[in-house]
A and B are shown apart, each in its own frame.
Chain A
Amino acid sequence: MTALLEIRGLTIDIARDEGPARVVDGIDLTVMAGESLGIVGESGCGKSLTMLSLVGLLPNRIRATAGSAMFGGKDLLKMTPGALRRVRGSEIGFIFQDPMTSLNPVIRIGDQIAEALIYQKGMTKPQAAIRAVELLALVGIPAPEDRAQAWPHELSGGMRQRVMIAMGLAGHPKLLIADEPTTALDVTIQAQIVDLVRDLKTRLNMSVVWITHDLALIAGLADRIAVLYAGTVVEDAPVAEIFDRPTHPYTRALLDSLPTLAGEAMSRLPSITGTPPEPGRRPPGCPFAPRCPLAQPACSDAVPKLAPVPGSDPRHRVACPIVIERAVA
């Protein structure tokens, strides 16, 4: 397998009056061709910003200040806005969180999909309209010809998210980034959307990055999972490794807080004490140290680097010298 996307040392800052605040601090991530990567973390850990920064969609006051993101031999972070525009949609497709607000209310659905085709694939309007209907059928929308003429407010949340997926796929991208696409949906619909994306991924042979805060949701979808905490990757491993041998204290805490059917009824779920640091108030050294049950004074000295975990899958890496020492011992 070859690497489709390689992010190295990505840093993102928010410009504030008091000075810049760091939200993403030196992230390293790789997405292989045909792989699906899950990015897991609490809200505000920088998972969405990391992905938005790749295609130049960061909000106004937020900037990627260091690092590189190689995609198809080019550094996305160094591209001109015009070149980035051609990457968006045709090379990297996006699905966003809230389908209720992510569709333009005053443009018909078919036209919103066709737009991507017209500007990315150079199709004529009639061609694009036909293709839009095909795409609606592809994402499992019944009566696609009629739906193409519908306004966004006439569809349910699940249907709208399918439309979003159709739009994300319109340009036939190599990489589809799904930014918490199911958070705003009902649980039953969530599963349908997950199944749809998994199905489409194999049919269209693309890579998928699925951003979520819900570990359980992507267990069946991702090949590999990267756990983010306060703007850094703390653990990066194949999905089975994460669930069978969680190594970083934060990953473990996340897994412990998932309810299981096997557990004793009515027992309290363990939760992580404290709150993640705010941007600009990062503790020195390991950002998780203030909340970590294993923390030692040395943890605050330097930001730990990702390193392979001895004795497990070679792709399993963790950013915690303490657990690595223990694994060696």
Chain B
Amino acid sequence: MYRIGEKPYPTKIMRDKLYELILRGERLDGRGPYQYRPLELKTAIIEKADGSAMVNLGGTKIIAGVKTALGQPYPDTPDQANIVVNAELLPLASSFFEPGPPDEKAIELARVVDRCIRESKMLELEKLVYIPGRSVLVIYIDVYVLDYDGNYFDPAVLASVAALATAKTPLYEVKNGEVVLNPDIRPSLPIRKVPVSVTIGLLGDKILVDPTSLEESAIDTSIVIGWSDEDEMAAIQKNLQGLIQLSVMDEIIRVSREKSIELRTKLMEAIGRVGAPL
């Protein structure tokens, strides 16, 4: 018989091992508890997209592409451009992923990326309205997980934000009440903030940042926190089953804030912006 909350034996052995290591400040791949895996970020890799980025975070590889089109605004936001985020956990990325329409995990990923971008007010969506209530820019962000070794949230946000920040989109103008394309210029999107997310795994009251897929299989639960800048969070998603002890919450926020600053610095280097965006 299994005791309450106990995992299958291979997982339980792994959990106990991870916990034993983390008590000494160590992890299986040699990282410290608060250390990210090596991050690589390349932009403008898909010529046919308006913007694109590829992110490698350790063994997790994610590509994001941005396309834009003219469209109608949502009825509740007639004076804002639309953002549409879609994410796919491709079957080539892992034996855990299966072909087919986005499942609940892919939908959750897309909605968390959407929340980080939308709630941080990253884009000045008001500036991309041509005729209020009738014609606005629709920004499609498509995220594909190509290789999966844990934590798809953070690289998906990094890739999406990098793709948006480096995108060159068609310029539309209003002439005689008609929205027409100006073929001569492709401006950048108006950027206000550079959001990043930080994923934290929990083993009891111990924190481990950026869990690998092996760690994800054994941790008690995890939480993703999106930061719009150094001081403000824009999105949170507790993810996976399991309890977060209230007493660890302060530490989670403190560590995620610290890590978000580190990630944003790397992201800004990759997208060629130094200092605060504005």
Determine if chain A interacts with chain B: no
Which residues of A are at the interface with B, using a C-beta cutoff of 8 A? none
Which residues of B are at the interface with A, using a C-beta cutoff of 8 A? none
